[in-house]
Amino acid sequence: MWAQESDGETGSSSEDEEDIQCEILEIQRDEANQRLSELEEVSNQLLKEINVLEMQFQIERSCRESAEALAVKVSKENKVLKRTSQMVMPLIPELPENSAAVTFEPEADCDEVDDCGEETLLVENQALIAVSQLVTEEFTEMSQKLELEQGLRQHAEVFAHQMFAARGESEMLPQSSEAGLQLRLQQALEQISTISLALCDIQCCYQDQVRQSQSAVDQSAVLSELQNLREQLEGSEEEKKALETQLCGANGCVMQLQEEVKQLQEMLSRPEEPEEEAAPAPPPPPPPPPPPLPPPHTAVTNSLDFLRIRRRERATKADQNKAAPLLDMQTKAVDEMMERIKRGIVLRPMKRTQEDDSSWKDQRGENRKSAVVELKGMLDGMKRQQLRRAPSRRGRNGGEVELLQVLQRRRRAMGENQDQTRDPQPGPQCVPAAGDAPWAGESGSAPVLRRLKQNREKRDSRIRASALIISQEN
């Protein structure tokens, strides 16, 4: 198989070399033909120019011959004129004296004629000299061109002879160079075999290197993936621990909030029962509100949270069932009252239907005035702070705390007054503190107890309204 392939390759390579040589010879032949054609064109142009120059030379020669003939004629005429003038000279004394003036005219004419003849001769001689110079210059140029044309023609003939000789040699080369071509083909085949073996070795080495590099890359990729997975596992474990801690804290917070909600529900369910019981009794005209003792601060804050939740539930129920107009009127009244308190407007007391003791009136009025003055001072300070700088969240919280403190003071003061007014009356008429059990065993005939009950209901409603307003502001 290898021998057959080598024979086929040798045959194809020999054919290729012969084709290449033929192409080279054809190219050389074409170039030689082009050069011959160029030389022929140049020689034709030179011949044309030589013909033109020969024509010009003949014309100049004829002109020169005609000029020489004219010069000969002029010289002959001058000689004739001189002879005639010499013949006339002896006849001059015989002329009369009167014609002395006339005798000079022919002489002047002769002088003028002589001058004109000399000038014409000079001009003709100069023209002939110039023409002769031009003719000699052109003759030298034509001789040089002829020499160049002869040299070029000889060179072209020599080149053509060489081309014919090279063509004959190229025709003889295929017959004489077959043995040399066979030797060259054998050498080329040997070189090809050695090169093919070297290429096989190089391919094997390259494949081994590629396999090694691929294995190294695979190992590095696997190691990097393992490291990434380990890092991800560590991060997920840390996140899991953090989430577990957050869940534990959230569960604790939820339990605390549930307990607080239960407490708030219990605390709010207690004051709701007396309100339901006191609903059927027609309320008398309300006196000015004396606030009772306030509950502890922690209960107020918890009740605020509970009131917020309850307010949201009420808002959803109101959207579904369209809350009753009475509740709307109450909320509007509470809002107006809180706005007046914030603005520092003193609420006018309602007309009393029943007369009370003068001492109780004075004490309650003084307490109310003191509470209103405190509220005004606090609101003025808040307004000044708002004018100085923009209200911040801390400022709002501080104002709410101060408002709650003032309300607590007012409730305590009003509670002391209630205790003082409650002492001279019998035991079943005592008033419990905020958040205690409802009124029990009351006959409802005493006007003081009725007013205290009404004041207590108003106080609860105001506390709820203030909590709602504070939650809205937050």
Task: Give the mean pLDDT of 24-35.
Answer: 86
- pLDDT per residue as tens digits for the range 158-185: 877 777 777 766 666 555 566 667 777 7
* The pLDDT of residue 279: 46
Q: Cα(459)–Cα(465) distance, rounded to whole angstroms?
A: 10
The per-residue pLDDT for range 96-142, each reduced to its tens digit, is: 554 444 444 555 556 666 677 778 878 877 877 887 788 788 778 87
Length of the chain: 474
Domain residue ranges of the chain, discontinuous segments joined by +: 2-90+104-174, 281-473
| Mean pLDDT along residues 238-257 | 86
Q: Which residues does 428 contact at the CB level (< 8 Å), separation at least 6?
A: 441, 442
> How confident is the model over 288-303, as pLDDT tens digits?
444 444 444 443 445 5
Of the candidates 115, 67, 107, 64, the one whose C-alpha atom is nearest the C-alpha of residue 86 is 107
CATH topology for the 2-90+104-174 domain: Helix Hairpins (1.10.287)
Predicted pLDDT of residue 273: 47
User: Are the C-beta atoms of 293 and 411 separated by less than 8 Å?
Assistant: yes
Exposed, middle or buried: residue 413 (CB in 10 Å: 0-12, 13-18, 19+)? Answer: buried
